[in-house]
Structure 1
Amino acid sequence: MIALIVRVVIMSGSHQSKPVVDTQKVLVSAADLPQGLLLRDEDLAWKAVPVADVPLGAIVSGAPDAPELKGALLRHAAASGTVLVAEDVILPSAPGFLAATLKPEMRAVSVAVDDVSGNAGLIQPGDYVDLLLTQQMDRRTDLPDLAVSSETVVEHVRVLAVGSEIKRPKTGDAPDAVGNRARTVTLEVTPRTGEVVSVAARLGNLSLALRSFATASRDPAVSMPASSAQPAPVWAGDISRAVRDLPRSRAVQVAAAAPAPVALRPVAIYRGSEKADATASVAAGGDSASPPLPSIPASR
């Protein structure tokens, strides 16, 4: 019995001797992040850090005055697990934020979109997209299989703003809360690509195709290489069998509706006691050696 009491006292003493470490959850980078990145949920994580090691200006979980870093611009590269402070980013509400997001020698150009061509609000600032041009060619060709065309005119450009929003919506917001109100999307392009976008907007309807987040580089300093061979446009006849068959069916209808050739009536020509059939001569183009037909005397 005495041995049991001694054991309990020793165990309770050992538990009390363990130091209590006070920690705080601070915001850190979830991966290696490049300079100039527009931050999103996947780039940020919470990490428990001893209070003594929390740097000044760190974003502490639950702090009432903690800034929202999602959608902010990263001023410099950050390794995975780096504690982020307010001075590491440029907030979307800061003056000149949009100009600060542009790489050197790049331009911001806006294109008109609707709910459908803008992916119904699913495209957000920081995403990468391709720009598709769809044209109605009815006034330029009489061939039904060439009546509509679609082609990719710009590849792998970064979305800077959707409408007037230059930051991603907060977690829990409806995905189309911003996109359904947006009528323009602002893209980061080279000066030459800006000219391409301007002409394409005049030629037809522009649509945005969202690129994969998993495979596309999100480093703004890395430009995607231009495609060596431009893919051929997609035409209406490439998609629809009905459109491809339309010219042949119309040809059959036109041939069926064409009037039948008029049969030539036989004409007999009498020269004295000789009789000749003029039908074959007329059908063959006539005989230049044959004398002209006699005129019919007027009745008296």
Structure 2
Amino acid sequence: MSNVIKFAVLIVGALMIALIVRVVIASGSHRSKPAVDTQKVLVSAAALPQGLLLRDEDLAWKPVPVADVPPGAIVSGAPDALELKGALLRHAAASGTVLVAEDVILPSAPGFLAATLKPEMRAVSVAVDDVSGNAGLIQPGDYVDLLLTQQMDRRTDLPDLAVSSETVVEHVRVLAVGSEIKRPKNSDAPETVGNRARTVTLEVTPRMGEVVSVAARLGSLSLALRSFATASRDPAASPPASAVQPAPVWAGDISRAVRDLPRSRAVQVAAAAAPAPVAPRPVAIYRGSEKSDATGSVAAGGDSAPSPLPSIPASR
């Protein structure tokens, strides 16, 4: 074997040995580097305003080094972890802020319902059924409109005006459904018809509270769920004021059958309900032996001029 070949073999062997040594050193350094232990903690999924009733969409899990987990943080998988869904946020929180127990007021805390009310606001409850309450799908924290439906047949004889519906209160927040003041978990089984709430508590102004009380006496109330995709989720933000009050919806606006009823039939119904006119009674006037009616015509013969009134006889 020539010296050139021997030299080439030695160079290749040296390169292989150097490569092996490098791999061994690199793997040893990786093994010696300690792994960072993390825990998943509950954080705000977006910028949240003060006074917000928390939903699932407002919360998220974020891995945080164990050394950086603040005291009171909600740790995933912890047996005593608090359920913050439905809790009231005490102060505004930026996106990604770690939420602790002191940041919220839990629904089980005393005075929770009063704490959810904005300043100068009131809580009023209205009676609902399975249909008017959206079949139990409205939950605390939702925003609704209140609709009043009235039977007007006792107040009018026109079929077009037999039933009316109008929105009496707009954009009010639901505080409680029945006795529940927090939203149910997504894993909860659907409620049965017998267990659905019969009352809904709304956050209203004092004036709105008077409107709701009167409306409850006039007819039946229904809840219309508003979209949650609003420009602001701040509970302190005032709802947009309607420039023009919408007109009520009448039976004739909806039903062609009611609208196309023969007008003669409507007139007959109105005429039958109207009281019959009272005929005037004749009045007779006696002047001595003469008799005349209220028009002054003389029944017996004689002068057409009115005779003087008889004198009062002297007392005996």
Residues 256 and 294 (structure 1 numbering): CA distance in 2 closer, same or farther, change over 3 Å?
Answer: farther
Residue 281 of structure 1 contacts residue 287 of structure 1 at CA under 8 Å; is this kept in 2?
A: no
Residues 218 and 174 (structure 1 numbering): CA distance in 2 closer, same or farther, change over 3 Å?
Answer: farther
Residue 287 of structure 2 contacts residue 307 of structure 2 at CA under 8 Å; is this kept in 1?
A: no
| Per-residue deviation, 1:6 | 2.1
The aligned counterpart of 2:212 is 197
Residues 286 and 154 (structure 1 numbering): CA distance in 2 closer, same or farther, change over 3 Å?
Answer: farther
| Per-residue deviation, 1:220 | 1.4
| Per-residue deviation, 1:154 | 0.3
Residue 88 of structure 2 contacts residue 106 of structure 2 at CA under 8 Å; is this kept in 1?
A: yes
Residue 53 of structure 2 contacts residue 88 of structure 2 at CA under 8 Å; is this kept in 1?
A: yes
Residues 282 and 159 (structure 1 numbering): CA distance in 2 closer, same or farther, change over 3 Å?
Answer: farther
Residues 284 and 75 (structure 1 numbering): CA distance in 2 closer, same or farther, change over 3 Å?
Answer: farther
Residue 290 of structure 2 contacts residue 299 of structure 2 at CA under 8 Å; is this kept in 1?
A: no
| Per-residue deviation, 1:170 | 1.1
State how far apart, in whole Å, the 2-side matches of 1:65 and 1:3 are.
55
% identical aligned pairs:
93
State how far apart, in whole Å, the 1-side matches of 2:254 and 2:55 are.
38
CA distances 1:76-103 after superposition (whole Å, capped 9, x unpaired):
1111110000010110001111111111
Residue 118 of structure 1 contacts residue 179 of structure 1 at CA under 8 Å; is this kept in 2?
A: no
State how far apart, in whole Å, the 2-side matches of 1:262 and 1:191 are.
49
Q: For structure 1, which segment, 58-67 or 171-180, has the greater mean C-alpha deviation from structure 2 after superposition?
A: 171-180
Residues 112 and 31 (structure 1 numbering): CA distance in 2 closer, same or farther, change over 3 Å?
Answer: same
Q: Secondary structure, in 3 states, of the residue corresponding to 2:215?
A: helix
Residue 287 of structure 2 contacts residue 310 of structure 2 at CA under 8 Å; is this kept in 1?
A: no
Q: Secondary structure, in 3 states, of the residue corresponding to 1:187?
A: strand
CA distances 1:136-189 after superposition (whole Å, capped 9, x unpaired):
111011111111111100000000000000000012113546995200000000
Residue 162 of structure 1 contacts residue 179 of structure 1 at CA under 8 Å; is this kept in 2?
A: no
Residues 270 and 100 (structure 1 numbering): CA distance in 2 closer, same or farther, change over 3 Å?
Answer: closer
Gap regions ≥5 residues in structure 1: none
Q: For structure 1, which segment, 131-140 or 267-276, has the greater mean C-alpha deviation from structure 2 after superposition?
A: 267-276
Residue 138 of structure 1 contacts residue 148 of structure 1 at CA under 8 Å; is this kept in 2?
A: yes
Q: TM-score of the superposition, structure 1-length normalised?
A: 0.81
Residue 120 of structure 1 contacts residue 180 of structure 1 at CA under 8 Å; is this kept in 2?
A: no
| Per-residue deviation, 1:73 | 0.6
Residue 148 of structure 1 contacts residue 236 of structure 1 at CA under 8 Å; is this kept in 2?
A: yes
CA distances 1:8-66 after superposition (whole Å, capped 9, x unpaired):
31331242244311100000011111111111101111000011110000000011111
CA distances 1:211-263 after superposition (whole Å, capped 9, x unpaired):
11112633111111321210011111111111100134737999999999999
Q: For the aligned residues, what is the CA RMSD? A: 8.7
The aligned counterpart of 2:6 is none
State how far apart, in whole Å, the 1-side matches of 2:82 and 2:60 are.
15
Q: Secondary structure, in 3 states, of the residue corresponding to 1:185?
A: strand
Residues 273 and 65 (structure 1 numbering): CA distance in 2 closer, same or farther, change over 3 Å?
Answer: closer
Quick check: 1:298 aligned with 2:314? yes
CA distances 1:107-161 after superposition (whole Å, capped 9, x unpaired):
0000000011000111000111000001111101111111111110000000000
State how far apart, in whole Å, the 1-side matches of 2:293 and 2:116 are.
93
Q: For structure 1, which segment, 256-265 or 149-158, has the greater mean C-alpha deviation from structure 2 after superposition?
A: 256-265
CA distances 1:252-283 after superposition (whole Å, capped 9, x unpaired):
99999999999999999999999999999999
Quick check: 1:75 aligned with 2:90? yes
Q: Secondary structure, in 3 states, of the residue corresponding to 1:279?
A: coil
Q: For structure 1, which segment, 268-277 or 224-233, has the greater mean C-alpha deviation from structure 2 after superposition?
A: 268-277
Gap regions ≥5 residues in structure 2: 1-15
Q: For structure 1, which segment, 7-16 or 202-211, has the greater mean C-alpha deviation from structure 2 after superposition?
A: 7-16
Residue 150 of structure 2 contacts residue 220 of structure 2 at CA under 8 Å; is this kept in 1?
A: yes
Residues 177 and 263 (structure 1 numbering): CA distance in 2 closer, same or farther, change over 3 Å?
Answer: closer
Aligned length: 300
Residue 292 of structure 2 contacts residue 298 of structure 2 at CA under 8 Å; is this kept in 1?
A: no
State how far apart, in whole Å, the 2-side matches of 1:32 and 1:289 are.
101
Residue 288 of structure 2 contacts residue 310 of structure 2 at CA under 8 Å; is this kept in 1?
A: no
State how far apart, in whole Å, the 2-side matches of 1:173 and 1:165 are.
14
Residue 285 of structure 2 contacts residue 291 of structure 2 at CA under 8 Å; is this kept in 1?
A: yes
Q: For structure 1, which segment, 178-187 or 54-63, has the greater mean C-alpha deviation from structure 2 after superposition?
A: 178-187
Aligned match of 1:270 in 273, 286, 311? 286
Quick check: 1:286 aligned with 2:312? no
Residues 241 and 80 (structure 1 numbering): CA distance in 2 closer, same or farther, change over 3 Å?
Answer: same
State how far apart, in whole Å, the 1-side matches of 2:301 and 2:267 are.
31
